[in-house]
Amino acid sequence: MAETHYDIIIVGAGPAGISTALHLAQIIPGIEKRTLILEKAHHPRHKLCGGGLLPDGEIVLRQLGLDISEIAHVNAPFAHFDFAGQGLAMTANDGTGIAFRLIRRDEFDAWLVGKARASGFDIREGVTVKTVEASAQGCVISTDQGDFHAKAVIGADGSKGITRRLVNPREKPHSARVLELLAPPKPDSSLHVQQDAYFDFRPIVEGIGGYIWDFPTLVKGVATRCWGIYDANFTPGEASRSLMAALADEMKTHGYNLEDYKIEGHPIRWFEASGEFSVPGLILAGDAAGVDALFGEGIAPALGYGRISARAIKSAFEKNNFSFIDYKKRVLSSEMGKSLRLRTLTARIFFGIRNAPIQRFIWTKLGAPTTFYVQNFLVYWANRQK
């Protein structure tokens, strides 16, 4: 008979789930034989995402002994933060000359899954978890292919997953609205540089709490642009224009007709310090727990959650106590948690400034303090982490 009892079950084989597994393998020898990872899709699977991998993500990968240069990616030398086409250009402060890298999520996630399998983890694809009954005495994970049992469960099943609802059954939704499409390289009429990444905050004045992005990317080796619009959606219903109309207008100024492209949408659940991150027997990681409200950056945080959740699991086994009572404190007191908390606060304030001249002033005149704030408080948390 197939094994159904494990020490640990991880729900979801995205960056949060796989990072948790790889961190576990670093700190609990032999744990891979007692862990099961359940994934409803089959890798390489489609995941709607701009693929912007910020330096923190790379730092966590390096700490796991992984080298991003093993997979195809684009290096964006500059990230432009603009209001209506004007603003500042940032690059990383680590001397690499790269602001951030752009990966494709089907390739990136499949690569991570390959690394976890090579470490000995059993990853079952095509298995959908239906419910989790969690308690400090043990958990029952019901799937479309039978029941499994574990001492501890990690809910890494993303923004639309089932585990976050278990932990926060009565929460008010705090999810960003995001649309994305892929388009060919820029027409000559575009003012954007082919290799650079662009964020334009013009939609804020229309009550959209976010920005329009235009990233370079490589789709199966072909140079492509990834366009999209992000709205943190702090005050649902307040936008005076639809996301689609705002994106269409911006793309038009670069010679694109939005109607020519396939547009997809997916929520991003952002970090809310007042929320819950665990119940006895179950802890959340990645989008299920909440990621960046300011930019919708979730890959690096998903990888960062892996370190925190793996340590919480190790401590639970050492104490034989699976209440996970201290998990929220672990998340909030981590450098990543501090950064995510600050990003939510910054987003609430910044997206509330709907006055065009003030927004233009911030991006065109306050370049130095803005760069300082971003680099010292919002990113590089993985370097600050002890």
Contact set with ligand FAD (CB under 6 A): 11-17, 38-41, 47-52, 128-129, 156-158, 161-162, 178, 180, 228, 266, 268, 286-287, 291, 296-300, 302
Q: What tokens appear for 201 in the block?
A: 């905050």
Min separation Cβ 320 and ligand FAD, Å:
28
Residues 362, 183, 109: CA angle, nearest 5 degrees: 85
Q: What tokens appear for 50 in the block?
A: 């701009």
Q: What tokens appear for 161 in the block?
A: 């997953």
Is the separation of the CB atoms in 104 and 51 below 8 Å?
yes
Q: Which is nearer to ligand FAD, 87 or 228 (CB)?
A: 228
Q: Which is nearer to ligand FAD, 177 or 360 (CB)?
A: 177
Cβ neighbours of residue 144 closer than 8 Å, sequence gap 6 or more: 127, 128, 130
Min separation Cβ 345 and ligand FAD, Å:
19
Rounded to an integer, what distance in angstroms lies between the CA atom of residue 146 and that of residue 337?
Answer: 35
Q: What tokens appear for 152 in the block?
A: 């501890």
Kindly report the number of other CB atoms within 10 A of residue 215's CB atom.
Answer: 22
Q: Which is nearer to ligand FAD, 238 or 264 (CB)?
A: 264
Rounded to an integer, what distance in angstroms lies between the CA atom of residue 335 and that of residue 340?
Answer: 9
Q: Which is nearer to ligand FAD, 36 or 360 (CB)?
A: 36
- The DSSP code for 376 is I
Q: Which is nearer to ligand FAD, 304 or 360 (CB)?
A: 304
Evaluated on CA atoms 304, 331, 25, 130, the torsion sign reads negative
Is the separation of the CB atoms in 227 and 52 below 8 Å?
no
Q: Which is nearer to ligand FAD, 32 or 39 (CB)?
A: 39
153, with CB counted inside 10 A (0-12, 13-18, 19+), is: buried
Min separation Cβ 263 and ligand FAD, Å:
10
Min separation Cβ 350 and ligand FAD, Å:
18
Min separation Cβ 240 and ligand FAD, Å:
22
196, with CB counted inside 10 A (0-12, 13-18, 19+), is: middle
The identity of residue 4, as a single letter, is: T
Min separation Cβ 200 and ligand FAD, Å:
15
| Cα separation of the two ends of the chain | 44
Min separation Cβ 299 and ligand FAD, Å:
3
Min separation Cβ 125 and ligand FAD, Å:
9
Min separation Cβ 89 and ligand FAD, Å:
18
Rounded to an integer, what distance in angstroms lies between the CA atom of residue 20 and that of residue 35?
Answer: 11
Q: Which is nearer to ligand FAD, 258 or 360 (CB)?
A: 258
Q: Which is nearer to ligand FAD, 113 or 136 (CB)?
A: 113
Q: Which is nearer to ligand FAD, 87 or 298 (CB)?
A: 298
Q: Which residue is nearest to ligand FAD (CB)?
A: 298
Kindly report the number of other CB atoms within 10 A of residue 109's CB atom.
Answer: 25
Evaluated on CA atoms 369, 371, 375, 377, the torsion sign reads positive
